Chain A
Amino acid sequence: MSSTKPNELVFLIDCNSFYCSCERVFNPKLWNKPVVVLSNNDGCVVARSKEAKALGIPMGAPAFQWQKTFEKHGVFVYSSNYTLYGDLSRRVMEVLQQFSPKLEIYSIDEAFLAMTTKDPVALGREIRARVLKWTGIPVSVGISSTKTLAKVANHLAKKDDSHGGVYQLENPRHIDRVLARFPLGDIWGIGGRLSKRLSSVRIQTPYQLKQADSGWIRKNFSVTLLKTAMELRGIPCLALEEVYAKKKSITCSRSFGQPVATLASLEEALSSYTARAAEKLREQESLASVLTVFLTTSPFIDRPYSNSATITLPEPTDYTPRLIAYAKRALSSLFRQGYPYKKVGVIFNSLSDKACYQPDLFFRAPPHQSKAMEALDKIHAKLGTRSIQFAAEGIEKPWKMKRIHTSKRFTTHFKELLII
Chain B
Amino acid sequence: MKIEIVKAKQGLPLPLSICEVPAGFPSPADGYMDDALDLNELLVTHPAATFFVRVSGISMVDAHIYPGDVLVVDRAKEVQHRNIVIAVLNGEFTVKRILKRGSQLLLAPENPRFAPIEVHEGEDFQVWGVVTYVIHKAK
Which residues of A line the B interface, CB within 8 A? 28-29, 31, 90-92, 94-95, 133-136, 294, 306-315, 326, 329-330, 333-334, 360-364, 366-367, 410-411, 414, 417-420
Interfacial chain B residues near A94, Cβ < 8 Å: 47-48
Partner of A419, one of B6, B9, B13, B54: B54
Please report B residues at the A interface, Cβ cutoff 8 Å: 1-15, 18, 20, 46-49, 51-57, 70-71, 75-76, 86, 88, 91-95, 124, 126, 128
Across the interface, do A308 and B48 meet the contact criterion of CB distance under 8 Å?
no
B49 touches A135 (CB 8 A): yes
Determine whether the beta carbon of B8 is less than 8 Å from that of A326.
yes
Q: How far is the CA of A294 from the CA of B4 in the complex (A)?
A: 11
Q: Are A136 and B75 in contact (CB under 8 A)?
A: yes
Alpha-carbon distance between A366 and B15 when the two chains are bound, in angstroms: 7
The interface residues of chain A lying within 8 Å CB-to-CB of B54 are 417-420
Closest to A410 in B: B51
Are A419's CB and B8's CB within 8 A?
no
Q: Are A135 and B14 in contact (CB under 8 A)?
A: no
Evaluate contact between B3 and A134: CB separation under 8 angstroms: no
Is the beta-carbon distance between A419 and B4 smaller than 8 angstroms? no
Q: Which residues of B contact A420 (CB under 8 A)?
A: 53-57, 71, 86, 93-95
Q: Which residue of the partner chain A has the closest CB to B55?
A: A420
Cβ distance A187 to chain B, nearest Cβ, rounded Å: 32
Q: Is the CB of B91 within 8 A of A314?
A: no
Contacting pair B8 A310 (CB below 8 A): no
The answer to whether B92 touches A28, judged by C-beta atoms less than 8 angstroms apart, is: yes
Nearest neighbor of B67 in chain A, beta-carbon distance: A419
Q: Is the pair B1, A308 in contact by a Cβ cutoff of 8 Å?
A: yes
Instruction: Please name all residues of chain B whose beta carbon is closer than 8 Å to the beta carbon of A307 when the two chains form the complex.
Output: 1-2, 4
Provide the residues of chain A in CB contact with B49, threshold 8 Å: 91, 95, 133-135
> What is the CA–CA distance of A363 and B15 in the complex, to the nearest angstrom?
6
Q: Is the CB of A311 within 8 A of B6?
A: yes
Find the B residue at minimum CB distance from A90.
B48
CB distance from A342 to the nearest CB of B (A): 14
A419 to B124 alpha-carbon distance, docked (Å): 20
Chain B hits for A313, CB < 8 A: 8
Please name all residues of chain B whose beta carbon is closer than 8 Å to the beta carbon of A29 when the two chains form the complex. Answer: 91
Choose from A309, A362, A363 the contact partner of B6 (Cβ within 8 Å). Answer: A309
**A294–B93 touching, CB < 8 Å:** no
CA distance A411 to B53 in the complex (A): 9
Complex CA gap A307/B3 in Å reads 7
Contact present for A134 and B15 (CB under 8 Å): no
Is B51 a contact partner of A308 (Cβ separation < 8 A)?
no
Cβ A418 vs Cβ B3 within 8 A: no
Closest to B88 in A: A28
Give Cα A357–Cα B53 distance, bound, in whole angstroms: 44
Beyond A309-B4, A417-B54, list 10 extra A-B contacts (CB 8 Å): A28-B88, A134-B75, A309-B5, A310-B3, A312-B5, A334-B4, A366-B15, A367-B20, A411-B51, A420-B57
Are A134 and B51 CB-contacts (below 8 A) given A28-B93, A310-B4, A310-B5? no
Cα A36 to Cα B133 with chains together (Å): 34
CA separation between A231 and B71, bound complex, in Å? 48
Q: Which residues of A are found within 8 Å of B95, using beta-carbon distances?
A: 420
Contacts of A312 in B (CB 8 A): 5, 7-8
**Residue with the greatest number of chain B CB neighbours at <10 A, chosen from A329, A363, A418:** A418
In the assembly, what is the distance between CA of A364 and CA of B71, in Å? 48
Residues of A within 8 A of B7 (CB): 311-312
